[in-house]
Amino acid sequence: MRIEQTASRLSPHILSALRIMSALLLLQHGLSKFFAFPAAMNRPALFSLFWFAGALELVFGTLLLVGLWTRLAAFILSGELAFAYFLGHAHRGFYPLTNGGEAAVLFCFVFLYIAFAGGGPWSIDAIRGRR
C-alpha cells in the first residue's frame, strides 16, 4: 500500500516533470529551424509548412514549458504532431519504426494526455488558479 500512496502523492509533480521535459525536447526542433541551436538545420522558407511547424513549436512549446495556457498549447501541439506524422512519415510505411515517425507519434500522444491532464502543480496555470 505504501508504494501506491507515494505514487498517488507524487503523480501531479511527475505530470509537471513530463510537461517540462516534453516541452524542452520539442523546443529543440523549433530552435534548430530558426536559430540553428542546438544544431543547425536548413532554414525553412518563409511561410512554408516547416516554417509554420517551427513557429508553433517555439510559441506553444514555450507556453507549455512554463505551464501557461497549458491545455490549449498541448492540444495545438498534439494536432501539429499528428499532422507532421501523417504528412511527413506515414507515406513511407505503415509502422512508425520503419517510417521514422516514432517521435512524432509519441509527442502527439504525450501532448494529448497533457491537454486533458493539465500542467500540474509546477505551472503558471496552477499558480494563477491558487489566487
Q: Is 130 part of a structural domain of the chain?
A: no
Instruction: Please enumerate in sequence order all residues whose Cβ is within 8 A of that of 122, keeping only pairs 6 or more positions apart, or say none.
Output: 13, 16, 17, 20, 67
User: Would residue 89 count as lying in a domain?
Assistant: yes
Q: What is the pLDDT of residue 41?
A: 82
CB 90 within 8 A of CB 64: no
pLDDT at res. 131: 67
Domain contains 15: yes
Find out whether 23 and 64 touch, Cβ atoms under 8 Å: yes
Overall number of domains in the chain: 1
- Provide the pLDDT confidence category of residue 121 given band limits of 50, 70 and 90: very high
Which pLDDT belongs to residue 88? 95
pLDDT of residue 40: 84
Host domain of residue 111: 2-124
DSSP 77-101: HHHHHHHHHHHHTGGG-SSHHHHT-
Indicate the residue type of 80.
E
pLDDT tens for residues 76-110? 999 999 999 999 999 999 999 999 999 999 999 99
Q: Residue 124's pLDDT is what?
A: 97
Helix 102-117 with 2-35: angle, nearest 10 deg: 120
Segment 31-63, tens digit of pLDDT: 999 999 988 888 999 999 999 999 999 999 999
Helices vs. strands in the chain: H and E counts, helices first: 6, 0
Q: 59 in a domain, yes or no?
A: yes
In terms of C-beta density within 10 A (0-12 exposed, 13-18 middle, 19 or more buried), how is residue 39 classed? exposed
Q: Residue 131: inside a domain, yes or no?
A: no
Q: Is 129 a domain residue?
A: no
Q: Which has the closest alpha carbon to 74: 88, 87, 86, 57?
A: 57
| Residue 75, domain member (yes or no) | yes
